[in-house]
Structure 1
Amino acid sequence: MGRSTFTRIAMAGVFAAAVIVTSAGPASAVSDKTIYLPYGRGYMKFIDDGDVFEICDTKADGHGVKGVLKKQYLAGNISTIFTEEDGGDSGCDKHPYNVGNDGWYQMELTWNGGGGLVESGWFNE
């Protein structure tokens, strides 16, 4: 077998392996995402396994935190899916919501004591 024949066979094998790898199963879901408020005031986390959002006030300063989930539909309009607040009690608040691939989602988190908001990037499954 000549060198060029061997090269062609090797390249065909690489191409076949690439096709198998790229077509093996459905697209994978997004992984967990977390955004944090400055000064350790709290966080909002998307837990992909179960599609649950966790909103946590992590500083006993008399102010809670507010998490918002927004969705941008394929047509381009943006709407608020839910608002969830945490503070004044033990533990974090959780809000289940099934994130799909029919649009893009963004988490927003604010501290109820004032200041700006923290946003995640847009994501979907």
Structure 2
Amino acid sequence: MVKYFSSLAVAGAAVAAIVVGVSTPAMAAGAGALDTNKKISLPNGRGTMTYIDDGDMFQVCDTRADGHGVTGQLRNGASGFPTMIEVTDGGDAGCDKKGYNVGNHLDEKYMMWLWWNGGGDAVVSEWFNE
């Protein structure tokens, strides 16, 4: 009887080692690969808008000293595209940021819009939520 339990314990330990060996790297890879930040960029290196998921921050950066600046907006697609926040950057050092609590419900969909204030079309992100 003791030999039976001993064999059972060894078999159980072997199965546990296999399960841990298989699932641990997969979980680590999945956790490391998860990145929910979003970024859009204007052509010709004029500017960027980034959604930083950790803290729900929106950062707009004017990346060219051309005297025009850039403007980014967060819009909600679930209720007719109203502007939830607007962030403008230009004429100063660094980027400008503003926070907005992005929802995670299936019916909440957001898009980022980014313009160069010197003219031209907006760059628009894909739909996203948290």
Q: 2:55 aligns with which of 50, 64, 69?
A: 50
Once residues 44 and 59 of structure 2 are traced to their aligned partners in structure 1, the CA distance between those partners, rounded to angstroms, is 19
Unaligned runs of 5+ in 2: 1-33
Q: Tell me what 1:95 maps to.
A: 98
Moved over 2 A (4+): none
| Structure ranking higher on relative contact order (CA contacts 8 Å, 6+ apart) | 1
Matched residue count: 95
Matches within 5 A, 1:1-125: 31-73=36-78, 76-102=79-105, 103-125=108-130
Counterpart amino acid of residue 57 in structure 2: V
* Structure 1 CA distance for aligned equivalents of residues 77 and 104 of structure 2: 11
For the aligned residue pairs, the C-alpha RMSD in angstroms reads 1.4
> Larger C-alpha radius of gyration, 1 or 2?
2
> So what's the TM-score if we normalise by structure 2?
0.69
Query: Where is the strand percentage greater, Structure 1 or Structure 2?
Result: 1
The answer on whether the counterparts of 1:30 and 1:123 sit within 8 Å (CA) in structure 2 is no
Whether the 8 Å contact between 1:67 and 1:107 is mirrored in structure 2 is yes
Structure 1 alignment gaps of length 5 or more: 1-28
TM-score, normalised to structure 1, is 0.72
